[in-house]
Amino acid sequence: MGIQERRERERQELRVKILNTARELFAKRGYEAVTMREIARRIEYSPTALYGHFVDKETLFRELCRQDFSEFAQSLLREVSNVHDPVEQLCHAGIMYLSFAEHYPEHYRLMFLAEHPDLPPTEAERNDPTQNAYVFLRALVVVLIDSGALRPELEDVDLVAQTIWAVVHGAAALDVNRKQTDDWLDMRPRAERFRATLELVLRGLMRKPEEQLVKMARALGTLDGVVANRTSEATRQSPAAPRGARRASSAKPATKDSARKPTRSRAARARR
């Protein structure tokens, strides 16, 4: 490796170190309380070294959010890439969301819980499901409505998408902050809470919830993120469809053009 290549590698390693340290501090103390000098002191570099990568704290924070939200959205797409049934796609996405909060609590706190400046999405990010998880969720809800999977009165795409998000986010946020409740609340095991969250979504939204709970059980049994009691009592009483009888839906992982009408609200970033 030549001198230039080694310098570039070291520069990238320092950049990653800056971002990881900043994420931890922002998540724990909030954006306003953290200074560039504090970040520099934590990684044992001079503030000048930080400014060589980011001109100010806001630029650093924007890059951190851009990376984390992009990876989060791409993780959702990867999770459903080989799943064709839209209800199972929803279950897989929900499990991935909950697993993300479980395994990356600092990322989750910064993205969805910590106080920070409003960062509206760029035009490129606004309607791109590889950068914007809400675009993926909204497009999936369109497929669920068009396929007749949801209750007939549920016609507002954004209302349904935002309700799903609210329920799953609530379970994830409670888990991330569970240490604050340990002294006074007897929390149920994580696997039971996560399974109940998905079941609540399906029972509340689906036209035929008992049939869809079988798909939830299938999703819980094939993903690594959540190891749960795989079925509710209703699911255990419902016969699973034979493998050969499973029909492939026309549903695909969300694409840029798959949503009916792109939203331009703050929710489009799926950040807070």
Span 202-237, pLDDT tens digits:
999 999 999 999 999 988 885 444 333 433 333 343
Q: With bands split at pLDDT 50, 70 and 90, how would you rate the model's confidence at 261?
A: very low
Same fold? 1-55, 66-269: no
**Architecture per CATH, 1-55:** Orthogonal Bundle (1.10)
Cα–Cα dist 157/33, whole Å? 38
pLDDT at 222: 55
Task: Please determine, for residue 162, whether its predicted confidence score (pLDDT) is greater than 80.
Answer: yes
Q: Where are the domains of the chain?
A: 1-55, 66-269
pLDDT at 88: 95
**Architecture per CATH, 66-269:** Orthogonal Bundle (1.10)
- Of 184 and 263, the structure prediction assigns the larger pLDDT to 184
Task: Please determine, for residue 193, whether its predicted confidence score (pLDDT) is greater than 60.
Answer: yes
Residues 8-20 have a mean pLDDT of: 93
Cα–Cα dist 235/218, whole Å? 10
Residues 23-31 have a mean pLDDT of: 90
Angle CA 93–99–105, to nearest 5: 130
Q: Which of 35-49, 121-135, 237-251 has the lowest mean pLDDT?
A: 237-251
